[in-house]
Amino acid sequence: MRNIIYMDNGATTKVDKKVADKIITYMTEKYGNASSLHQKGQEAKIALEESRAIIAKSINARPSEIVFTSGGSESDNLAIKGVAYAHKKGHIITSVIEHPAVLETVKELKNEGFDISLIKVDSEGFVDIEELKNEIRKDTILVSIMHANNEIGTIQDIEEIGKICKENKIIFHTDAVQSYTKFPLDVRKINIDLISLNGHKIHGPKGIGALYIKEGTKIKRLIDGGKHENKLRAGTENIPGIVGFAEAVKIADFGHIRHMQKLKDKLIDSLLKIENTRLNGPKEKRLCNNVNISFKYVEGEAIGGYLDAEGICSSTGSACSSKSLEPSHVLMALGMKEEDAHGSLRLTISRFTTEEEVDIVLEKIPKIIEKLRRMSPFK
């Protein structure tokens, strides 16, 4: 079988072998229900609490402040709807570049009678802090601003946003799914009340996530049933997923960040040497594994298709809908023209990406762009 070069780690990552081994053990040998009082149950319960402690420690939280969920989307829903329903009414602030797990959630809440404000971003994807301050009202109950953007890698100043929220006694949620283990987060140093995390972006399994809920935060659970997860999320805990998630967190380290940073910079610097290109998102304050470049006169979908034919997995700034090819809401929010948004390519690397793979990609892309531009009707 031909080797695949996987550069779509922003979508999902390869499960680490050590993580997979651990998951299998908790499926085939240590398969108890953590609520059962017998030995098998207690074995699972111990693994559950050890995993919780690992996730908590990674952000300097207390284990009792971690609730396991089915992933980033559920964590975002629990954070936002949970706070909204606990307050019954009020105003919520978020940004135009959030993940659909946040944007669709606030849209739903708007239909239910909550007031929503969407903050704009600048040309690099940083939220407008002044606009955020101006939008705050007496009845603002929640601010939800993502830590790092999944498409363009912009890392927001959540320390500053946290300060503003604290001064105004507003609950602050951040979706840190993309930045988790790639950028240090310390809930004792930064004011954050709720943080969404997941497993599958960090070489852990899919279908598992967590929500950090600062002690004392007013929040209502969304899934009713048993008393699991501190009564905040009913349902038998996904022990294999949870144990795998914690193992992935344990493996992640600063050396991996440096490795990705180096390869990311090499990709960006080399691709920008191609004529008529632009970097989407900032050069600094950018996620260590994210590259997003627009190539004028070509379609990102076409670049992705040619790369796929060469065994290289990437993604584009467009989301194919059944009827039309919609440009990405994130790229459009940067003030880009629609045709430039359509010409974007996202490469997201991981700690498994090698320099050799980067070199192969850098050899292929200029040729593909040249070929596509020769055929382009836009030129």
Ligand X SMILES: Cc1ncc(COP(=O)(O)O)c(C=O)c1O
Beta carbon of residue 373, minimum distance to ligand X (angstroms, whole number): 31
Q: Between the CA atoms of 94, 97, 101 and 105, what dihedral angle is there, to the nearest 10 degrees?
A: 40
- Of 95 and 178, which has the nearer Cβ to ligand X? 178
Beta carbon of residue 329, minimum distance to ligand X (angstroms, whole number): 13
3-state SS, residue 32: coil
Integer CA distances (angstroms), 67 to 85, 234, 282, in order: 18, 11, 33
Give the separation between CA 364 and CA 367, rounded to whole angstroms: 6
Beta carbon of residue 233, minimum distance to ligand X (angstroms, whole number): 14
Is 320 an annotated catalytic residue?
yes
- Of 136 and 222, which has the nearer Cβ to ligand X? 222
Instruction: Please pick, among 165, 288, 313, 320, the residue that the annotation labels catalytic.
Output: 320
Consecutive H or E run containing 213: strand 209-213
Q: How far apart are the first and last CA of the chain?
A: 38
- Of 171 and 177, which has the nearer Cβ to ligand X? 177
Question: Structure tokens of 184?
Answer: 């240090």
Angle (nearest 5°) at CA 147 between 142 and 152: 125
Query: What is the number of the residue whose Cβ is closest to ligand X?
Result: 72
Beta carbon of residue 300, minimum distance to ligand X (angstroms, whole number): 18
Beta carbon of residue 70, minimum distance to ligand X (angstroms, whole number): 7
Beta carbon of residue 46, minimum distance to ligand X (angstroms, whole number): 26
- Of 308, 292, 299, which is closest to residue 345 (Cα–Cα)? 292
- Of 147 and 296, which has the nearer Cβ to ligand X? 147
- Of 76 and 357, which has the nearer Cβ to ligand X? 76
Long-range contacts of the stretch 251-256 (C-beta < 8 A, 24+): 251/16, 251/18, 251/19, 251/203, 252/181, 252/182, 252/202, 252/203, 256/351
Integer CA distances (angstroms), 109 to 13, 81, 93, 290, in order: 31, 7, 12, 31
Q: Cα-flanking dihedrals φ and ψ of residue 17, to 5°?
A: -55, -40
Pair 177, 211: CB distance under 8 Å: no
- Of 326 and 339, which has the nearer Cβ to ligand X? 326
Put residue 143 in one of left, alpha, beta given phi > 0 → left and psi -120 to 50 → alpha. beta
Chain residues binding ligand X by CB under 6 A are: 71-73, 76, 99, 101, 146, 150, 175, 177-178, 198, 200, 209
Residue positions annotated with a catalytic role:
320
